[in-house]
Structure 1
Amino acid sequence: MPETKFEPWNDPNEKPLIEFRGVTKRFGTFTAIDNQSFDIYTKEFFALLGPSGCGKTTMMRMLAGFEAPTEGKILLGGKDIAPIPPNKREVNMMFQSYALFPHLSVWDNIAFGLKRDGKDKKAIAARVAEMLKLTRLEKFANRKPHQISGGQRQRVALARSLAKAPKLLLLDEPLGALDAKLRQDTQFELMDIQETTGTTFVIVTHDQEEAMTVASRVAVMDDGRVVQVDTPDRIYEDPNSTYVADFIGDVTILSGSVTPKDKGYELRFAEGQPTLYADSDLSLTDGQTGYLAIRPEKVAVSPEKPEDRRNALKGKILDIAYLGNLSTYHVELPTGQVVKAQTANTRRLANRPFSWEDEVWLSWSDSAAVLLER
């Protein structure tokens, strides 16, 4: 039997675990969250993504109970959580600093919340053993936090947060302190643990790659608002604005006036430059300003003009960023605008076909670029 895809947000019979209903949060005259409504479903790994100061941590602090909404409601399992104190919510938070007790062993750190809840010794021992196994820390149970690595401390904090089997686990920039390689490994560990426990995870991060790797859905935030909530592939391939397109991954954005044509629009972006074309189901008027967002990996670089593509621009190579498996070419158009194109390095560097200052043609298919209204 084929495995059904996990998409509760597309199922009208599914009830969300968390509902933000017209939530506004003000600090004095400053509006941190501006009238926001969205849902998070059980077993989701949901990411709040955005630059510093966009309101994502405020969202999380309201979920945890450290802040109350100024207006609107947050429902957990259909109940308004505002009157429930933080320690009585079925919500746990894992802090960026991990906040482990330095004088307690790994075992005692994980057991701390269970002991405080007055669980009996046998139940505590069984649960701690389960958590140690889940986070692969069995060998380190008797060590103190300073005797283990940063990645292991991160896993202790995770085990402690999950020990009380919360319905919801909030993770505030949980991988910020780890180096690049460890971050990557830990992202996959987090996903495995989330899947194994079935706990709903909400992660706050400013790292787009992290959000795209771990999340079932990503909420991109800007200035107190959720701009787009969607699956990582949709956010990347089908952004709803230039802000989202620009925030996630590399992109070139060309703007100009549009004219309806075929299944989409032609775009005139500069005097003396060829018109470009994009398939699109947007409803734009003739002469309206449109924005064409094109990802570097969708742009081909060739020495001659390709005959079979109507999107073709001539330019000069300004820069080449060599990333091992990929090379990104920064190509300057006669207008001074720079378009990025990416190619896979299937050959040795010595055989690279293009060099700095070379004149090249950039081209892409009718459906490769996304036309945006704003």
Structure 2
Amino acid sequence: MSDPVSATPSVFAPWADPSETPLIHFQNVTKRFGDFTAIDDLTIDIYEKEFFALLGPSGCGKTTLMRMLAGFETPSEGVINLAGKNIVPVPPNKRPVNMMFQSYALFPHLTVAQNIAFGLERSKMPKDKVGARVDEMLKLVQLEKFGGRKPHQISGGQRQRVALARSLAKAPKLLLLDEPLGALDKKLRIETQFELMEIQETTGTTFVIVTHDQEEAMTVASRIAVMDHGRMVQVDTPDRIYETPNSVYVADFIGDVNLIEGNAASHHKDGKIEIHWREGEPPVVGTPMVPVQDGTRCTFAIRPEKVHISKEHPEGKANIVHGKILDIAYLGNISTYHVELPNGHVVKAQTSNNQRIERRKYTWDDEVWLWWSETAGVVLTA
């Protein structure tokens, strides 16, 4: 008998497979409100079973994009295909799309079960099947014991799950979530994020979520579209958005980052460049995303957790700066040190708090050395 071969888990990445057909296809979509362009000539594909996040500040166009998918707004130009069909002329109630709002919009006079059944009954589903579907949805969101309660008799997190169950009851091809966790406190929001991911995976429904919460998008999404002024600045997986941002805007928007701006100078044989950024400071050595010519104005972006801190001068390192601890942000599991260099520039370094706070190595006004490897950050020219 031959030895069993262990199956390698497949990576979910339909966007990387040319043979895959997208579920949603925006083709040169523009949306104007008078003289204001909310969405500017946007083309993007979203695939079946994706958990896709639209992320950006207020006014970037993410909600307008979602409302066009739902049918509440009509593009000024362009086509939106869903499962190969142009849905622009299709009214909202005829689209295989459902939308879950931040307010949940539950009927206060109906029970949890009746709220979930409401859309099914209006779709003229046979009564004997409505009850079974409601039970299935209650089980999916782990609220089997709460079907007879009214919305005011359950918690905020449970109301959120009722709204989710109601949205999924008719098995839409696409579920749109508009800031769905915004009304929850932080701890419950984090718990609910994982519940959302599990439910999305169980049902196989394509989720598109609108959020301005970077941590939320990084947690739940298979891919993130970072938006700015009606355009998608970068569309990629959470790890690539964080580790290899394609612009200063994305690097600065996602998480905490140190940005050092200067001019590219001498090049190393291995593709690394030197960035001259302050008189009296050694040049920063970094790895550019694309070839950079001498004299190009560029920005070196490095995350605080990749910056090392030491009281002793680190020997043999390429990127070393010296300064004084100006401030300390204690966040329980980590501490962020704000170190002011002699030229006034502040660099942030982050360390894990493996010991009790009274045993901390560094404190205010300590003189310290910071250093990082040549590949720890990225060189950006946009």
Q: Choose from 188, 191, 210 the match for 1:185.
A: 191
- Report the Cα distance in structure 2 between the residues aligned to 1:59 and 1:130, rounded to whole angstroms: 31
Give the CA deviation at 1:245.
Answer: 0.4
1:247-282 Cα deviation digits (max 9, x unpaired): 000001000000222322100111111111012341
Secondary structure in structure 1 of the residue aligned to 2:198:
helix
1:122-143 Cα deviation digits (max 9, x unpaired): 1111110000000011111011
- The match for 1:363 is 371
Q: Choose from 73, 81, 91 the match for 2:87.
A: 81
- Report the Cα distance in structure 1 between the residues aligned to 2:26 and 2:231, rounded to whole angstroms: 12
Q: Which runs of 5+ in 1 are unaligned?
A: none
Q: Choose from 102, 113, 121 the match for 2:108.
A: 102
Once the two structures are superposed, the pairs formed by residues 315-330 of structure 1 within 5 Å of their partners are 315-330=323-338
Q: Which runs of 5+ in 2 are unaligned?
A: 1-6
- Report the Cα distance in structure 1 between the residues aligned to 2:171 and 2:164, rounded to whole angstroms: 11
- The match for 2:30 is 24
1:111-130 Cα deviation digits (max 9, x unpaired): 01110010111111111000
AA partner of residue 72 (structure 2):
F
AA partner of residue 273 (structure 1):
E
- The match for 2:226 is 220
- The match for 1:289 is 297
Secondary structure in structure 2 of the residue aligned to 1:139:
helix
Secondary structure in structure 1 of the residue aligned to 2:273:
strand
**2:38 matches 1:41:** no
- The match for 1:69 is 75
**RMSD (Å), alpha carbons:** 0.7
Count of residues in correspondence between the two structures: 374
**2:62 matches 1:56:** yes
- Report the Cα distance in structure 2 between the residues aligned to 1:280 and 1:239, rounded to whole angstroms: 12
- The match for 2:268 is 261
1:320-371 Cα deviation digits (max 9, x unpaired): 1111110100011111111110000111111111110111110000100110
- Report the Cα distance in structure 2 between the residues aligned to 1:24 and 1:315, rounded to whole angstroms: 49
TM-score by length of 1: 0.99
Identity of aligned residues (%): 68
Q: Choose from 237, 241, 245 the match for 2:247.
A: 241
Q: Choose from 326, 338, 348 the match for 1:340.
A: 348
- The match for 2:181 is 175
Give the CA deviation at 1:83.
Answer: 1.2
Q: Choose from 73, 88, 98 the match for 1:92.
A: 98
Q: 2:61, 2:229 within 8 Å by CA — same for their partners in 1?
A: yes
1:164-215 Cα deviation digits (max 9, x unpaired): 0000000000000000000000000000000000000000000000000000
Q: Choose from 186, 205, 208 the match for 1:202.
A: 208
Secondary structure in structure 2 of the residue aligned to 1:210:
helix
Q: 2:289, 2:380 within 8 Å by CA — same for their partners in 1?
A: no
Secondary structure in structure 2 of the residue aligned to 1:353:
coil
Q: Choose from 206, 227, 236 the match for 1:230.
A: 236
Secondary structure in structure 2 of the residue aligned to 1:218:
strand
TM-score by length of 2: 0.97
Q: 2:289, 2:378 within 8 Å by CA — same for their partners in 1?
A: no
Q: 1:264, 1:281 within 8 Å by CA — same for their partners in 2?
A: no
- The match for 1:116 is 122
- The match for 1:314 is 322
